Copies of this chain bind each other. A is one copy, B any other.
């Protein structure tokens, strides 16, 4: 930019540049609500432009409601501008395929999660105290001792036969009939999902997911160069099938990926009839359904829900699950039923991780064969249900008015919607100073700042420490609301002075 006589076009460009600069400073957190911005003279000097151009730019920003002039004082950042640029709550996700931007959030939380002495409410890990650790330890030690050759050797890429037989039997609980050869053992549910997506999709393809959705799913899509469309999802209905239908009419969707039974983060359940409809809808259009059923056994009601896969007549439903939420997250054992994509999945699995850890496979197969799997899981689920109730109650009493703690129908994560004044990423940052981690809402959408006032909390445990952490979180959220209201008052008094 240069001083001196300039054309109208140049002057307009300069004005644009100044406006963008101010917006970026607000967006980047350099200017907060109520802050005085650089004076017209300072800005003109800093940017080496005319005072008239800066004045034009500031007037435009004032008209837009970004800043406000105060006579004999200068220009101040409007309260709503910080919300406008930094935090936009989106009630229904925008219906366009987008690139994900939440990787930095999840990335930094993964880093923080490494430190100990922290109340970890961010993860979706089951309560280790409720897992059959003793039995599994014994079975694994026995596998290593009595089946040393198998334990030490590479297993087949598809997994150990004995485990595939047991899994095939377990699948009957979800009304899915299968034979052992239908099943490929994986390094946990993440690998199951990743294999299915890679078998079906090419970079650039669009997949439809639930909203809010599991962040690792969004990361998987991102790292594979896929675009995602998020479909609104509700506690008792699951994915909105009308929205889905509209999206299918509009975009060439390659696959629909969802967790219909106690999905993460909502803990929602899609009713059987909706599952049947969903399968039919996709079957009619020859679109693949990838079902993630890792929480399927963890419902609070007594009936185990039927898997969407059970309604599959053409083999277009791919089924993913794991033992990470029920038996042992650290063992990394899951499975997938790929139907017509089975062979492709096997090759990708072989090329990606070779095979799954052998001793774990033997131990889990033994557990399924001779221990009471359902009994152990039901026992844990009762505790999850009670803990979820206790957490929801404490949230109601400690969080700002208007906070909604949505009690899940199964599993052990809870979705909290706070008043719009609360920014969950800011809450995360202040919580970590109190040695508490949470998973902020924006992690669950590919859209920048979606679910900004929401968060997911792990409710698998309930202890004095967790109760105290929840109260601290509530206090921090209340502080955000108060700070917001103070800033509002400050500005309104400044403006009226």
Which positions in A face B, CB cutoff 8 Å? 103, 106-107, 110, 113-114, 123, 125, 128, 131, 133, 136-137, 140-141, 144-145, 148-158, 161, 187-191, 194, 198, 202-203, 216, 219-220, 222-223, 225, 324, 328-332, 343, 346-348, 350-360
Contacts and interface: CB of A to CB of B under 8 A. Distances in A.
Most chain B Cβ neighbours within 10 Å, of A140, A150, A188, A223? A223
Contact of A351 (B157, B223, B346): B223
A110 B219 contact: no
A324 B357 CA distance: 11
**Which of A113, A131, A150, A332 lies at the interface centre, i.e. has the most chain B CB atoms within 10 A of its CB?**
A332
Given A137-B145, A190-B352, A190-B353, 14 more contacts: A106-B347, A125-B153, A125-B154, A131-B152, A150-B330, A152-B328, A152-B329, A188-B354, A191-B354, A216-B354, A219-B350, A330-B357, A331-B358, A331-B359
A123 B346 contact: no
Contact of A203 (B225, B332, B355): B225
Given A103-B347, A107-B346, A144-B140, A354 B190 contact: yes
B191 A352 contact: yes
Contacts of A330: 150-155, 355, 357-359
Contacts of A152: 128, 131, 133, 136, 328-331
A56 to B, nearest CB: 42
Q: Is the interface of A mostly helix, strand, loop or mixed?
A: helix
Given A152-B131, A187-B187, A202-B225, A353 B329 contact: no
Contacts of A157: 110
Nearest to A220: B351
Q: Counting chain B CB atoms within 10 Å of each CB, which of A136, A148, A161 scores highest?
A: A148
Contact of A220 (B140, B156, B352): B352
5 contacts: A137-B151, A152-B330, A153-B330, A188-B353, A219-B350
A378 to B, nearest CB: 19
B114 A194 contact: no
Nearest to A192: B353
A154 B324 contact: yes
A161 B113 CA distance: 13
A346 B348 CA distance: 20
Contacts of A103: 347
Given A114-B156, A152-B131, A203-B202, A353 B351 contact: no
Contacts of A219: 347, 350-351
A414 B155 CA distance: 22
Contacts of A343: 107
A141 B142 CA distance: 9
A398 to B, nearest CB: 28
A141 B205 CA distance: 45
Contact of A187 (B351, B353, B358): B353
A355 B110 CA distance: 11
